[in-house]
Amino acid sequence: MASNLIRGTSSWVLAVLVALTVQIFYFSPIDPVVHDIRPAPSTKDNKLQNIIKLGEGLVKEAEDVAVDKEGTVYAVTRDGWVKRLRRNGNWEDWKHMDSNTLLGFTTAKDGGLIICDADKGLLKVTEEDGFIVILSHVNGSELRFANDVVEASDGNIYFSIVSTKFQLQDWYLDVLEARSHGQLLRYNPSSNETDIVLDDVAFANGVALSKDEDYVVVCETWKYRCLRHWLKGEKKGTTDILIDNLPGAPDNINLAPDGSFWIALVQLTTEGLEFVHDYKITKHIAASFPRLLNFVIGTKTKATVVNVATDGKIVRKFDDGDGKVTSFVTSALEFEDHLYLGSLNSNFVGKLPLYNA
């Protein structure tokens, strides 16, 4: 009896192990490489715990924020709203579309906003026309997972594609695979042509132009760095690194009034679980079991923003290292001596006075 039971149990264990191995190696959605994926160490200051919460309860998970010439603050939310905060302090539900995939956006020179929709491509939203799709295909392929966008004064629109392999809902698989599938693209609305500015970018995320528009910056999230591609001058056409070794994974980047940049940094991996990225087998296991993956993803544990000078040095840093007031801050924008913060884990826009921060 007992030996039958043991035999039965051990063949059951064996069957489970074989099934797991098959699951992990044959059905794993990733083809990973090992890449050192740790952020630079930093000490916490918890200064983002002093933020003012704007529109609390009204603004569902705004990944990005922007301010127009009149000083109106815009937030694009995960439930498809473009909401805006007028100078008089009133929030307005401005425009809505049926989408839960709106990501980075920018104010357009001729009014309105240009918004990345991870499913539909580049959208424009204006008072008169509401939402219209301005770019849905690139060289015959559907434009998917556009992430952030900026418009140059010559009318060219620079935007990032996170990954040509993975979609928004599988974004962490791109992190686990650690192969560079992202791109920085340039769309010329007058010729209706799109060209690849940079290929093989690692999780291409925030995009910004320098103050003189002599270079464009694109952040590589899981490489903890931002690339600079020169558009003018003697370095035109070349690419170098604006900043690397960041103390968090860069999401949106915004030009500051003094020509420096504000970058929101995301905690990619739960502290203590970084080893998952050290071995192919642990990457496969995490990628194969969504519940396990939820423990590995550390985005909701803290918030960090940094101000980076044009020489690539961090000038200022603010965080909520405990994730007590805000976390998963994905955008930081400076306007009139305040920082405005978008977060994928908050129902408000954060506002931090810079004069006494």
- Choose one: 62-70, 136-144, 179-187, 268-276; the region binding Ca ion (CB under 5 A): 62-70
Closer CB to Ca ion, 104 or 247, in the complex = 104
Contacts of 232 by beta carbon, 8 Å cutoff, 6+ apart: 212, 213, 214, 215
Q: Which of 99, 147, 210, 307 binds Ca ion (CB under 5 A)?
A: 147
Residue 221 binding Ca ion, by CB under 5 A: no
Residues 6+ apart with CB under 8 A from 69: 107
Q: How far is the CB of 25 from Ca ion (least distance, A)?
A: 32
Q: Does 104 bind Ca ion (CB under 5 A)?
A: yes
3-state SS class at 243: strand
Q: How far is the CB of 147 from Ca ion (least distance, A)?
A: 5
Instruction: Decide whether 265 or 285 has the Cβ nearer to Ca ion.
Output: 265
Q: How far apart are CA 333 and CA 351, in angstroms?
A: 10
Q: Cβ 203 to Ca ion, closest distance in Å?
A: 9
Residue 190's Cβ-side half-sphere holds a number of Cα atoms within 13 Å equal to 3
The alpha carbon torsion through 121, 37, 35, 216 (nearest 10 deg) reads: 40
User: Alpha-carbon torsion 56, 62, 65, 69, what sign?
Assistant: negative
Closest-CA residue to 328 (of 4, 71, 48, 55): 48
- Told to check if 117 binds Ca ion by CB under 5 A, we report no
Residue (106 or 282) nearer to Ca ion, CB: 106
Of 282 and 343, which has the nearer Cβ to Ca ion?
343
Restricting to residues 195-214, which ones interact with Ca ion according to CB under 5 A?
205
Residue nearer to Ca ion on the CB measure, 161 or 176: 161
Closer to Ca ion by Cβ: residue 106 or 299: 106
Give min distance, CB of 176 to Ca ion, in A: 18
- Judged by DSSP in three states, 338 sits in strand
* Binding to Ca ion in span 222-261, by CB under 5 A: 251
| CA–CA distance, 73 with 19 (Å, rounded to integer) | 53
Quick check: 64 binds Ca ion (CB under 5 A)?
yes
Q: Which residues in this chain contact Ca ion in the complex, by CB under 5 A?
A: 64, 104, 106, 147, 205, 251
